[in-house]
Structure 1
Amino acid sequence: MLVKSKIVELADWLFEEEIPDGYVPDKPLVENRISISKDPVHMENFQLSTSGLFILHSKMQFDRPVQVLTEIEGETITSQFIFFKPTDSKLPYGMSRHNIRYIPSVKSIHEVEPGIEYTYFIAVISKEYYLNLIKRDSLLHQQFVHEIEKGEYVSFSEEDLMATYEMQHTITELIESKKKGEIRRLHTESRVVELLMYQFEQYNEKTESSDLLFHEEDVQRLEMARQILEQRIANPPTQKELAAEVLTSESKLRKDFKEYFSVTIHDYLTRVRMEKAKSYLLEDKMTVYEVALLTGYGHQNNFSSAFKKYYGISPGELKM
């Protein structure tokens, strides 16, 4: 399969990668980091590739409106995410969209605007590789596989969905992994499967609750509320304060948050705190006391009790 992209207004390709289609389990990963700063584009690219798989994580800003051309040749399944926010925004992610697509071959052009910070993630997976990750007869994607067999371009979800915290966390784990060799390849493959599972799960939940309709303004408020919780876990606002920040009532925020994200505000904050805590303990090697402060528990004993209730083991046992 061939994956390449360029700014229509410029002569050179931003990147051009030719990847073998076949699934080769012991094929090593190749990592590449590219920085591009050439009027009108400023871009930081992280790329991972192996036989049957190409991953791109790109942070982009543009000095003027331009068109981005992307070409993919060969039968592929893509897991695509786009995050976008004003360059002066203090929120970590902004708005987002994601989907899974089957692409027999495609050329697409997207217009991008100045003053917007874009973060783009795509996993391009050959058909053979994909069907080794997710078995053909799995109920998770039965209809999707049926459409794939027709050989025509199709999206898993009719509408792009918004990325959840779990998806963002999985992407971050994948691109920031310090693992090497075979362990890195296995870790990458497991994160790709995890990301696809989160996408399948969200789509299925949306399908089951399709009678719940949210206006775009409500969705933006909910996304902002979610990001405020993620950004301020050390000192989170009360639900009343959070509702005031996103310009809605406390009761409406509680109700809509539960319906839209399928989790209460309290449980979501706990989930984010515990995921961050595990990362601080394992990846950053912080002390239990430091993690307690960073996750907003204040007292080490309160944090340790919450951690053991959530994971079933104490922070000290996790670090052993």
Structure 2
Amino acid sequence: MKMVITNTDLNDILFERDLPQNFKSDKAYTESNTAIFHPKFGSSDIEDLWFEGIHITKGQTRIKEDISLKIESNYSVFEMHFTLSGSSQATTLGSKEIFRFEPQQHNLIYTKDFEGYFNFSKQEDLNNFFEVHFTEDYFQRFMNVENTVLDKFLNGIEKRSMSAMKEKNMAITPQMNLIISEIMQCKRSGLLKRLFIESKVIELFMLQLAQFETTLKEKKEVMNFQDIEKIHHAKYLLEQNISNPYTLIALAHEVGLNDFKLKKGFKAIFNTTVFGYLHDLRMEKAKHLLLEQERTIKEVADYCGYEYVQHFITAFRKKYGITPGKLQA
């Protein structure tokens, strides 16, 4: 199962990876780290982890100049792709179809003997991605899941070398970001780590399917591109101001929409309300701070914008069914 990445300008190989058939490992799992430096395009750190049926890769790349990379692989996988930051676009050889990813977007993609190009523009911010690859054999276990979108996707991949679940990428939710963070920061080892990661990967996949299915059932009002961009900016502002959030009217004014259009558009795009999203964001961040950074309950309550600690404890218990204190015990 080989992949080769070549710089199309100079035709030199930047990265080459040859993984075992079906991602088999003679241990609970296998890990590898690769650092790439190129004087023109920049640098990249790639971390891989695999065990039979599943391969996880995460990368952090700094793009110094516009660059086109040729990608070649000799295997087929179902790929859960998450662009955490930065942007990119891909094309397959012999096709005019373009697959674009912007920050905080995800999709489910099928690739078979992929041969094509990834194009990156010079970017000030790091380009971060997280991917989970399922072999076709492993993915068979999901075939009996009753999901209209999945059925349509599987029926449409037979004659194509690359296919995406949705024509338009979906927004990564706070819950998805939390699961990705838990996978990347897992401190367990051996079989326990493998079981933890596998369970989280399946949970992440089910969240993807649920989001895809929900958007199919909803009839959304057609919005112009400018309004969609403004609503995505509103989401970004919420994420950057957890401790001191905007009021709805202030947020709408900041992005240049009226509050009705912001509320309706936000619900249509992200399948949640403005303050429902903020609440979930706060709770996911609170859980992370309590578990991973061992902050005090008072510190976390303050960070999440709660004036009274008891109000934070009540909200946290309602969300997770456990108090912050018991979670840390």
Q: Normalised by the shorter chain, which TM-score bucket?
A: 0.7 to 0.9
The aligned counterpart of 1:106 is 114
Matches within 5 A, 1:109-124: 109-117=117-125, 118-124=127-133
The CA deviation string for residues 52-73 of structure 1, in whole angstroms up to 9 with x for no partner, is 3222211222222111222232
Indicate if the aligned counterparts of 1:288 and 1:300 stay in contact, CA closer than 8 A. Answer: yes
Residue 166 (structure 2) pairs with residue 157 (structure 1): yes
The aligned counterpart of 1:51 is 52
The aligned counterpart of 1:139 is 146
Residue 171 (structure 2) pairs with residue 170 (structure 1): no
Indicate if the aligned counterparts of 2:14 and 2:36 stay in contact, CA closer than 8 A. Answer: no
The CA deviation string for residues 276-296 of structure 1, in whole angstroms up to 9 with x for no partner, is 111111222222111111111
Shift of 1:22: 6.5
Q: 1:128 aligns with which of 112, 137, 140?
A: 137
CA distance in 1, matches of 2:59, 2:247: 35
The aligned counterpart of 1:258 is 267
Task: Provide structure 2 residue ranges, at least 5 long, that are not aligned to the other structure.
Answer: 88-100
Structure 1 stretches of 4+ with a deviation exceeding 6 A read none
The CA deviation string for residues 243-271 of structure 1, in whole angstroms up to 9 with x for no partner, is 12212122221221122222111211111
What TM-score does the superposition give when structure 2 sets the normalisation length? 0.85
Q: Note the aligned Cα RMSD (angstroms).
A: 2.5
Name the aligned partner's letter for residue 174 of structure 1. Answer: I
The aligned counterpart of 2:75 is 74
**Distance of aligned partners of 1:14 and 1:22 in 2 relative to their CA distance in 1, 3 Å threshold:** closer
Matches within 5 A, 1:201-220: 201-220=210-229
The aligned counterpart of 2:237 is 228
**Distance of aligned partners of 1:151 and 1:265 in 2 relative to their CA distance in 1, 3 Å threshold:** closer
Shift of 1:83: 4.4
Shift of 1:127: 0.5
The aligned counterpart of 2:95 is none
What TM-score does the superposition give when structure 1 sets the normalisation length? 0.87
Shift of 1:49: 1.9
The aligned counterpart of 1:90 is none
**Distance of aligned partners of 1:249 and 1:85 in 2 relative to their CA distance in 1, 3 Å threshold:** farther
CA distance in 2, matches of 1:23, 1:197: 24
Matches within 5 A, 1:303-318: 303-318=312-327
Name the aligned partner's letter for residue 218 of structure 1. Answer: D
CA distance in 1, matches of 2:16, 2:308: 49
The aligned counterpart of 1:89 is none
Identity %: 27
Q: 1:181 aligns with which of 180, 190, 195?
A: 190
Shift of 1:238: 1.4
**Distance of aligned partners of 1:62 and 1:221 in 2 relative to their CA distance in 1, 3 Å threshold:** same
The CA deviation string for residues 170-212 of structure 1, in whole angstroms up to 9 with x for no partner, is 2222222222111211122122212222221221122112443
Task: Provide structure 1 residue ranges, at least 5 long, that are not aligned to the other structure.
Answer: 87-92
Shift of 1:28: 2.0
Q: Secondary structure at the match of 1:42?
A: strand
Name the aligned partner's letter for residue 30 of structure 2. Answer: V
Indicate if the aligned counterparts of 1:2 and 1:74 stay in contact, CA closer than 8 A. Answer: yes
CA distance in 2, matches of 1:126, 1:138: 17
The aligned counterpart of 2:7 is 7
Shift of 1:160: 2.7
CA distance in 1, matches of 2:18, 2:289: 35
